[in-house]
Amino acid sequence: MIHGLVVVDKEKGFSSHAVVAQIRRFLKTKRVGHFGTLDPAATGILLIGIGHATRLFNFYVHKEKTYSGIIRFGYATSTFDAEGAPVSEKMEIDLRNIDLLPILAQFTGALLQVPPIFSAKKLKGVPLYKYARKNIAVERKPNQIHIHSLNHRIIDPSALGFEAVTSSGTYIRSLAHDIGQKIGVGAFLEELKRERIGEFDIPRSHRIETIARHVADGRFDKVILPFESLLPEFSKIIVTAGGRRGVTNGVSLSAADVLKIIPAPDTEHFRIFDEEGHFLAIARKDRSMSFRPCIVFPDENS
């Protein structure tokens, strides 16, 4: 069984689910999942977990992201992007005549953002887009997000290019729509590219055809990051044979179980390894300051 992470450079027109299906087919395994949806019309970074790595979703989905794209002004759409139908009258605008800096400054920092109705955000276990397709009105509660930076350039009188560094949970379509509302002419997201998730950017990614070719040649190492290399920001604990047995059974580590601790920036979570380099679990310190496993990976080496 293969365990690891694939950094995909998704092309336009493919859903995140379709990419997962392709990876499953290439690797002939069902244990594949993505770490955060990317709309079919968008391109760029999509993280795909394989095997044990699928259990790391919560750690990767919360990583900081960088996006670039184009916001088109003049009217709003039903989906907040170019796929939707116009929902307002078209208005003429010349962005060169507007002082954009104070307006865009209102969209940086900590914000409350309402997710678009056509999104995978769930309400009572049902994605919002399913309510939208049935014309069912539902209350969408705002989410707390953080936009760390928002840079821009005017492309033409009604198009604004941008680069945004955001927290997880940020909808760039909503950002485009909200900026249009603030200016008073309506706007939608015309193009979007996810440039980065955490430490993973476009230069470290692979197109689907490249992944297919290397997998067919048996060169998994060319496109799949090893499971043992993931989450290097977590401190690393190497345990004894006794510690290994305890951890794989969900038992907290004692001081005698620990051979070595290799510190890293994140000291809240700890990656647990045995002496042979097998990634056994992720642990956190409990109230007694012991290391208690919170995710244990099935032991395939016993």
Tens-digit pLDDT string for the chain (302 aa): 899 999 999 999 999 999 999 999 999 999 999 999 999 999 999 999 999 999 999 999 999 999 999 999 999 999 999 999 999 999 999 999 999 999 999 999 999 998 888 777 787 787 777 877 878 778 888 899 999 999 999 999 999 999 999 999 999 999 999 999 999 999 999 999 999 999 999 999 999 999 999 999 999 999 999 999 999 999 999 999 999 999 999 999 988 999 999 999 988 899 999 999 999 999 998 776 688 999 999 876 54
Q: Report the catalytic residues.
A: 39
Residue 169 inside a domain? The answer is: yes
Residue 115 lies in a domain: yes
Question: According to the model, what pLDDT value does residue 164 have?
Answer: 98
- Whether residues 74 and 192 share a domain: the answer is yes
Residues 150 and 241 in one domain: no
Q: Does residue 301 sit within a domain?
A: no
Q: What CATH number corresponds to the domain at position 252?
A: 2.30.130.10
Q: What dihedral do alpha carbons 12, 15, 19, 24 form, nearest 10°?
A: -160
Q: Which two tokens stand for residue 67?
A: 């996006």
Residues 80 and 173 in one domain: yes
Shared domain for 102 and 155, answered yes or no, is yes
236 in the same domain as 215: no
| Calpha distance 85→24 (Å, rounded) | 34
Residue 245 lies in a domain: yes
Domain extent, residue 10, equals: 4-61+199-227
Residues 232 and 276: their CA atoms lie apart, in Å, by 17
Q: Which of 145, 143, 200 is nearest to 167 (CA)?
A: 145
Residue 144 sits in the same domain as residue 249: no
My answer on whether 136 and 167 are in the same domain is yes
What is the CATH classification number for the domain harbouring 26?
3.30.2350.10
User: Based on the domain organization, do 176 and 89 belong to the same domain?
Assistant: yes
Say if 302 falls within a structural domain: no
Asked if the structure places residue 174 within a domain, the reply is: yes
80 domain residue, yes or no: yes
Q: What is the pLDDT of residue 136?
A: 78
Alpha carbons 80 and 261: distance in angstroms, whole number: 48
pLDDT value at residue 101: 97
> Are residue 246 and residue 214 in the same domain, yes or no?
no
Instruction: For residues 70 and 191, state if they share a domain.
Output: yes
- Tell me how far apart the alpha carbons of residues 239 and 227 are, in angstroms, rounded to a whole number: 18
Same-domain check for residues 82 and 185 = yes
Q: Are residues 158 and 272 in the same domain?
A: no
**What is the structure's pLDDT at 302?**
45
Neighbours of 71 (CB within 10 A): 25
Q: What's the 3-state SS for the chain? A: CCCEEEEEEECCCCCHHHHHHHHHHHHCCCCEEECCCCCCCCEEEEEEEEHHHHHHHHHHCCCCEEEEEEEEECCCECCCECCCCECCCCCCCCHHHCCHHHHHHCCCEEEEECCCCCCCCEECCEEHHHHHHCCCCCCCCCEEEEEEEEEEEEEECCEEEEEEEECCCCCHHHHHHHHHHHHCCCEEEEEEEEEEECCEEHHHCECHHHHHHHHHCCCHHHCCEEHHHCCCCEEEEEECHHHHHHHHCCCCECHHHEEEEECCCEEEEEEEECCCCCEEEEEEECCCCCEEEEEECCCCCC
> Does 159 map to a domain?
yes
Domain boundary among 197, 214, 242: 197
The reported pLDDT for the residue numbered 289 is 67
What is the tally of structural domains in the chain? 3
